[in-house]
């Protein structure tokens, strides 16, 4: 049915072959030979490397043995009575001791880590009871050393603030002054009027049960030996025109007494200054005596009292300046 086209022939009379039919004419045994040569080269390289490594190891062993031999020889020259090989045993023993110490340290660290994890929520870390090996002797129980105390010993106070052989608990402040105004204390026992106390001749008055040092003795058993101090202090104040002036005012301070000091029936805090004013009432402990604070011009009219107060304050300022 189909007609075949006649095949073309070359001029030489041979048929032309298509390029698809052409193949490489290189023999297969050439590739195999190249692979074998490569494997042989690698094998020879490995063998050379192994021989070189073995020779290096042997050389190192020889050098180390020579070094040990020279060291032992030098040790024998230094210590002729010492047996050979003792230094090597000592080195082995030191290495073994170091390993035991490392193992013990790791054991203790592990115990501490476990204890810290167990007590992590409490916030308080106690020293764990560590079990020591039986080979080592037990340590003695730690002795609680006395902690240093940085509190005031009172030695300086005894040297600087002693009166008639008694240490005074109180020291006057730098602003202490003797007043120009003549203040007085009027003591009352129920309705009984007692002698007036003039308290303007010095800057401070100690009140207490210790008659050897008290300026104003208080004999009631509820009062302390050094109960309170009546102190005059130079303080600043603001005038009506806005200027700042200075004046001497009376204050009361409680020295930490057991039953307290009362100002106008109100107990005051210890170790704190409280300013006193005219007609204030003081009481000490459970004593029924009352002390009223007045001065020499209290019986005058209020106008005259104010004028006198201003004049005295101005005089005090001039004298202080």
DSSP 8-state class, residue 7: P
Q: What is the pLDDT of residue 305?
A: 45
Q: What is the pLDDT of residue 10?
A: 52
CATH match for 177-294 among 3.40.50.300, 3.40.50.2000, 2.60.200.20, 3.40.50.800: 2.60.200.20
What stretch of H or E contains 293?
A: strand 289-295
Q: What is the pLDDT of residue 19?
A: 54
Look at the block and give the residue holding tokens 């115990």: 111
Q: What is the pLDDT of residue 313?
A: 56
Mean pLDDT by runs of 10 across the 321 residues of the chain is 54 55 57 79 84 84 80 71 61 85 88 82 48 53 66 56 80 91 91 88 92 90 92 91 91 92 94 93 93 81 46 53 49
212 contacts 164 by C-beta, under 8 angstroms: yes
Q: What is the pLDDT of residue 162?
A: 79
218 contacts 207 by C-beta, under 8 angstroms: yes
C-alpha to C-alpha distance for 59 and 67, rounded to whole angstroms: 12
Q: What is the pLDDT of residue 235?
A: 92
Q: Which phi and psi (to 5°) does residue 99 adopt?
A: -65, -40
Question: pTM here?
Answer: 0.47
Q: What is the pLDDT of residue 303?
A: 38
282 contacts 257 by C-beta, under 8 angstroms: no
Q: Provide the residue count of the chain.
A: 321
Distances (CA, A) of 225 to 56, 186, 193, 228, 269: 97, 22, 25, 9, 18
C-alpha to C-alpha distance for 308 and 321, rounded to whole angstroms: 20
Q: Which phi and psi (to 5°) does residue 28 adopt?
A: -70, -30
Tokens of 294: 């007045």
| 166-225 pLDDT per residue, tens | 888 888 999 999 999 999 999 998 888 889 999 999 999 999 998 888 999 998 999 999
Which residues, including other chains, have CB under 8 Å from residue 262's CB and lie 6 or more apart? Answer: 268, 282, 283, 284
| Beta-strand relationship, 204-208 and 216-217 | parallel
């Amino acid at each position: 049915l189909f007609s075949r086209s006649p095949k073309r022939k070359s001029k030489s009379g041979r048929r032309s072959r298509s390029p698809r039919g052409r193949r490489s004419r290189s023999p297969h045994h050439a590739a195999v030979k190249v692979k074998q040569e490569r494997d042989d080269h690698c094998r020879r390289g490995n063998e050379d490397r192994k021989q070189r490594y073995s020779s290096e190891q042997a050389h190192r062993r020889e050098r180390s043995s020579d070094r040990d031999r020279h060291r032992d020889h030098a040790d024998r020259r230094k210590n002729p009575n010492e047996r050979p090989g003792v230094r090597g045993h000592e080195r082995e023993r030191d290495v073994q001791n170091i390993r035991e110490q490392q193992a013990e340290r790791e054991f203790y660290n592990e115990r501490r880590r476990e204890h810290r994890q167990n007590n992590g929520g409490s916030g308080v870390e106690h020293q764990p009871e560590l079990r020591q090996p039986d080979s080592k002797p037990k340590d003695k129980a730690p002795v609680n050393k006395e902690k240093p105390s940085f509190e005031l010993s009172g030695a300086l106070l005894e040297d600087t603030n002693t009166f008639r052989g008694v240490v005074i608990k109180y020291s006057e402040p730098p602003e202490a002054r003797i007043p120009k105004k003549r203040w007085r204390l009027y003591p009352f026992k129920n309705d009984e009027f007692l002698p007036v106390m003039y308290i303007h001749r010095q800057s401070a008055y100690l009140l207490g049960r210790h008659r050897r040092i008290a300026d104003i003795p208080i004999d009631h058993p509820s009062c302390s030996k050094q109960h309170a101090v009546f102190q005059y202090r130079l303080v600043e104040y603001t005038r009506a025109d806005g200027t700042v002036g200075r004046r001497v005012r009376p204050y009361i301070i409680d020295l930490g007494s057991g039953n307290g000091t009362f100002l106008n029936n109100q107990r005051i805090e210890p170790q704190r200054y409280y300013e006193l004013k005219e007609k204030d009432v003081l009481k000490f402990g459970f004593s029924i005596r009352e002390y009223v604070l007045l001065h020499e011009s209290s019986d005058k009219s209020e106008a005259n009292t104010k004028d006198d107060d201003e004049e005295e304050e101005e005089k005090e300022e001039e004298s202080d300046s």
